[in-house]
């Protein structure tokens, strides 16, 4: 009974802290702007199963992609065993899902095997991070705390898997020693059980309890660390792929306010839905976090900081400042900085800083070629160019700030109706005196 009470209190604390964190993040979303309507559910589910569940983009790097897929699939399988542990802890029973019979055997065997596979994969990841100095793990945005964050999370996952394997092995040896029925199938546990063969029944039971509590407490701690870590993508990647922008990657969306003005110029007699009278004056483009869409912020919380986007960026590859990964890491950091103030004061809160310039420089933005290589490569379907273009729109439309070459082009379009510095009447001069055969 004491174990149940302690476990129940632990769960309540875990859920309380997690709920507080999620509600805080949700409160930030209300300061973002609306985005695309969510429809075409069939297509969205297809993308989610291919990209998130099937890990198709991860497999573009086959070897390391395979190890990452093992970790993801392992978590998907092991979560059923964790559910059983929670039921056991709350109701003081043992192997509560044994009523599922063969299905329970499959779940336990899969979780036992994946625990080993995930542990091996995590060791590979740690070796790569600590000793191999992979170039895409570096960059001006990858500060010391970013590397520590990754190493701590990977170490916790490794401990989770070791405690699970230890728990299964101790359980198997305990039942064999007592001559009792083993509920579930544990291939790895069977191999490791002889390690504990020298322990008495009391020692085996104590070992099992230590591993059991270690595993479940690590799960609870890990769940509450995730929202403050890049590994929040454990929760966010699946919904983010479901919310993928369905338009072709190269398509740039029009701004509603501009579209309405152009239509009114073309047809002054037409009627269009006007914004509400009390609606705040909208800003053209993005200057700060209150100007981004909810999907942009969702993307920033989903970013895995893997660097695949930056590694394929032609601007970054040629030595320019732009790093697509940094754009979304900066958005997440800026919202963390300004969000609490907006929650207290409202959208008008001003800390004399902004996302644009204080975090992202103009040089970074204008280096982007909008080739969409970053969006194509991102394993969780983040669309980087949409945010970059929106910040450019602010610079051009609100501050008249752009590289000199672009300003010349804008002036030519305004005066000549074309990007070139020639009068429209002179456009066909090149064709004078040409002999054109008419068949």
For residue 327, what are its two tokens?
């754009």
What pLDDT score was predicted for residue 280?
57
**Helices 2-29 and 201-225, axial angle in degrees (round to 10):** 10
Q: Are residues 224 and 264 in the same domain?
A: no
Q: Is the pLDDT of residue 151 over 90?
A: yes
Query: Angle at CA 277, nearest 5°, toward 274 and 279?
Result: 90
Contact 238, 48 (CB under 8 A): yes
198, 232, 266 - which closes a domain? 232
Of residues 1 and 138, which shows the higher confidence score? 138
Q: In this predicted model, which residue has the larger pLDDT, 437 or 61?
A: 61
pTM of the model: 0.88
Q: 410 in a domain, yes or no?
A: yes
Average of per-residue pLDDT values in the chain? 91
CATH assignment of the domain containing 212: 1.20.950
Where residue 437 falls among pLDDT bands split at 50, 70, 90? confident
Phi-psi region of 307 (alpha: psi -120 to 50; beta: other; left: phi over 0): left
In angstroms, the CA 344 to CA 89 distance is 39
165 and 293 in a single domain? The answer is no
Query: CB-side exposure of 376: number of CA atoms within 13 Å?
Result: 11
Per residue in 290-316, pLDDT (tens digit) is 999 999 999 999 999 999 999 999 999
* Domain-embedded: residue 141: yes
Residue 246 inside a domain? The answer is: no
Are residues 217 and 77 both part of a single domain?
yes
- Which structural domain range is residue 203 located in? 2-30+61-232
pLDDT class for 372, splitting at 50, 70, 90?
very high
Asked if 84 and 212 sit in the same domain, the reply is yes
The residue from 217, 232, 247 where one domain ends is 232
Q: What is the token pair recorded at 383? A: 């669309």
Say whether both 223 and 278 belong to one domain. Answer: no
Q: 349 and 416: one domain? A: yes
Distance CA 332, CA 236 (A): 14
CA distances from 131 to 128, 137, 275, 372 (A): 6, 12, 56, 32
User: Can you tell me the mean pLDDT for 354-366?
Assistant: 95
Give the Å distances, CA to CA, from 343 to 47, 129, 351, 353: 34, 37, 13, 17
Query: Tokens standing for 254?
Result: 């029009």
Q: Is it the case that residue 248 has pLDDT exceeding 60?
A: yes
Is residue 1 scored above 80 in pLDDT?
no
CATH number where 326 lies: 1.10.1060.10
Distance CA 141, CA 147 (A): 11
Closest CA to 111 of 95, 126, 124, 89: 95
210, 69: one domain? yes
How far apart are the C-alpha atoms of 339 and 330, rounded to whole Å? 13
Residue 51 lies inside a defined structural domain of this protein: no
Give one DSSP letter per residue of 155-212, joined into a string.
HHHHHHHHHHHHHHHHHHHHHHHHTPPPPS--HHHHHHGGGGTTS-HHHHHHHHHHHH
Domain boundary among 216, 232, 248: 232
- pLDDT tens digits along 165-202: 999 999 999 999 999 999 999 999 999 999 998 899 99
**How many domains would you assign to the chain?**
2
Mean pLDDT of 390-394: 95
Whether 269 has a pLDDT exceeding 80, the answer reads no
Specify whether 181 is located in the same domain as 321.
Answer: no
Beta carbons of 367 and 56 less than 8 angstroms apart: no
Q: Are 206 and 283 contained in the same domain?
A: no
Q: Model confidence at 345, in pLDDT bands (50, 70, 90)?
A: very high
Q: Would you say residue 406 has pLDDT above 90?
A: no
Q: Identify whether 54 is part of a domain.
A: no
Q: In whole angstroms, what is the distance from residue 205 CA to residue 185 CA?
A: 19
Q: Is residue 407 part of a domain?
A: yes
- Among 49-63, 259-273, 350-364, the minimum mean pLDDT is found in 259-273
Instruction: Count CB-CB contacts under 10 A for residue 370.
Output: 16
The percentage of residues in the chain with a pLDDT greater than 70, rounded to a whole number, is: 97
Sign of CA dihedral 329, 150, 217, 72: positive
Provide the pLDDT confidence category of residue 323 given band limits of 50, 70 and 90: very high
420-432 tens-digit pLDDT? 887 878 878 878 8
* Residue 274: pLDDT over 70: no
15 neighbors 208 (Cβ within 8 angstroms): no
In 3-state terms the chain splits into helix, strand, coil percentages (rounded to 5) of 70, 0, 30
User: What digits encode the pLDDT tens for the residues 85-142?
Assistant: 999 999 988 899 999 999 999 999 999 999 999 999 999 999 999 998 888 899 999 9
Q: What is the pLDDT of residue 334?
A: 97
Do 292 and 413 fall within a single domain?
yes
Say if 151 falls within a structural domain: yes
Residues 360 and 416 in one domain: yes
Token code pair at residue 410: 């804008």
Mean pLDDT value across residues 399-425 = 85
* CB contact at 8 A, 318 and 143: no
Report if residue 433 sits inside a domain.
no
281, pLDDT greater than 70 = no
Query: pLDDT tens digit string along 26-49?
Result: 999 999 998 878 899 999 999 999
Smallest CA-to-CA distance from 298 within 202, 399, 391, 382 is with: 382
Dihedral sign, Cα of residue 339, residue 344, residue 348, residue 354: negative
Q: How many CA atoms lie within 13 A of 168 on its CB side?
A: 28
What is the predicted pLDDT for the residue at 192? Answer: 95
Specify whether 68 is located in the same domain as 117: yes
């Amino acid at each position: 009974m004491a174990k149940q009470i302690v476990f129940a209190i632990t769960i309540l604390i875990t859920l309380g802290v997690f709920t507080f964190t999620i509600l805080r993040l949700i409160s930030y979303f209300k300061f973002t702007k609306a985005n695309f309507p969510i429809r075409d559910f069939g297509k969205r589910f297809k993308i989610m199963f291919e990209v998130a569940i099937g890990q198709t983009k991860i497999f573009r790097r086959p070897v390391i992609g395979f190890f990452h897929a093992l970790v993801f699939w392992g978590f998907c399988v092991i979560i059923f065993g964790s559910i059983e542990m929670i039921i056991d802890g709350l109701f003081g029973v043992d192997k509560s899902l044994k009523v599922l019979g063969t299905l329970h055997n499959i779940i336990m065997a899969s979780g036992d095997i994946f625990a080993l596979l995930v542990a091996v994969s995590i060791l590979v990841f740690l070796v790569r991070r600590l000793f191999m100095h992979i170039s895409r793990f570096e960059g001006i945005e990858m500060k010391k705390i970013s590397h520590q964050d990754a190493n701590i999370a990977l170490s916790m996952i490794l401990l989770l898997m070791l405690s699970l394997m230890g728990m299964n092995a101790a359980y198997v040896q305990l039942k064999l020693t007592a001559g009792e029925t083993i509920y579930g199938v544990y291939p790895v546990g069977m191999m490791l059980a002889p390690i504990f063969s020298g322990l008495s029944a009391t020692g085996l039971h104590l070992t099992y309890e230590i591993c059991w509590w270690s595993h479940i407490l690590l799960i609870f701690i890990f769940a509450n660390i995730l929202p403050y870590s890049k590994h929040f993508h454990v929760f966010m990647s699946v919904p983010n792929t479901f919310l993928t922008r369905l338009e072709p990657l190269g398509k740039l969306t029009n701004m509603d306010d501009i579209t309405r003005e152009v239509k009114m110029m073309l047809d002054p007699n037409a009627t269009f839905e006007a914004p509400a009278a009390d609606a705040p004056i909208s800003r053209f483009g993005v200057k700060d976090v209150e100007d981004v869409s909810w999907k942009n912020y969702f993307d920033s919380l989903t970013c895995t900081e893997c660097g695949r986007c930056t590694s394929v960026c032609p601007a970054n590859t040629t030595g320019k400042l732009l790093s697509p990964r940094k754009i979304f890491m900066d958005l997440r950091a800026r919202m963390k900085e300004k969000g609490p103030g907006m929650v207290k004061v409202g959208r008008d809160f001003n800390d004399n800083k902004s996302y644009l310039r204080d975090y992202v420089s103009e040089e970074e933005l204008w280096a982007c070629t909008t080739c969409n290589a970053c969006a194509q490569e991102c394993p969780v379907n983040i669309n980087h160019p949409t945010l970059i273009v929106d910040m450019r729109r602010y610079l051009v439309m609100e501050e008249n700030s752009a590289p000199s070459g672009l300003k010349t082009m804008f002036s030519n379009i305004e005066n000549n109706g074309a990007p070139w510095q020639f009068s429209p009447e002179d456009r066909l001069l090149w064709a004078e005196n040409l002999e054109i055969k008419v068949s």
